[in-house]
Amino acid sequence: MKELVSEAIVLGREPSRGSDRTVALLTKEAGYIHVRAVGGLKILSKFAPHLDPGSLVEVRLAKKNGYTLTDALTKDRFLIIRNNSEKLGRALRVLFFIQYFFPENVSDTRLWDTLLKALETGEIKMNDFLIHAGYDIRHATCAMCAARNVAFITVDTHEFICLLCSTKLPENRILLIHN
């Protein structure tokens, strides 16, 4: 069994089986990964206060058939973002984007540095992350009607969609890309 101790940014979390929780993390060393937090849903879980999306945490992970969280400690909650609903909304969209548009288990120090700087300064620009993932909205057109004023990207097909066409798709399958 290998152990990894690293700083990580919490991208998201969701219930798993029983009282466990699956947590999406971005680490400098391992990239975007999913980890299992055993007992992470329990009210008295030692992990619960440290797994808020957008937090910088120090984690210890055990790796054997996937990663298991063994310890977590919050280093920064980025209050500059949490105290501003507009910035928080932008940050949450970027965290979601990373989970659905970047590959797992691929170290990407440029992505790590860009996200950490954005969270520290509060200057979160979705376009920075779109470009890093290989998407350029300057030349994009709507996949449904060919309009040039795209506002969303689809989660399933990674296509750009305009505001009008976005009403034809489920809200949980599209992501707003304008700041």
Instruction: Identify the band that residue 179 occupies on the pLDDT scale cut at 50, 70 and 90.
Output: low
- Tell me the chain's radius of gyration from C-alpha atoms: 17
Instruction: Cite the beta strand spans of 38-166 per DSSP E.
Output: 56-63, 67-76, 150-154, 160-162
128 and 42 Cβ atoms separated by less than 8 Å: no
Instruction: Cite the beta strand spans of the chain per DSSP E.
Output: 2-15, 21-27, 31-37, 56-63, 67-76, 150-154, 160-162, 174-176
Q: 44 vs 27, 39, 59, 91, 107, CA distance in Å? A: 26, 9, 18, 28, 33
pLDDT of residue 1: 73
172 and 100 Cβ atoms separated by less than 8 Å: no
| Residues 107-143 pLDDT 10s | 999 999 999 999 999 999 999 999 999 998 888 999 9
pLDDT of residue 17: 79
pLDDT of residue 178: 78
| Residues 46-97 pLDDT 10s | 777 889 999 999 999 999 889 999 999 999 999 999 999 999 999 999 999 9
The token pair that represents 153 in the structure block: 């990207």
pLDDT of residue 102: 96
Nearest to 23 by CA among 58, 51, 46, 3: 51
The Cα–Cα gap between 91 and 8 comes to 15
Q: What integer best gives the mean pLDDT of the chain?
A: 93
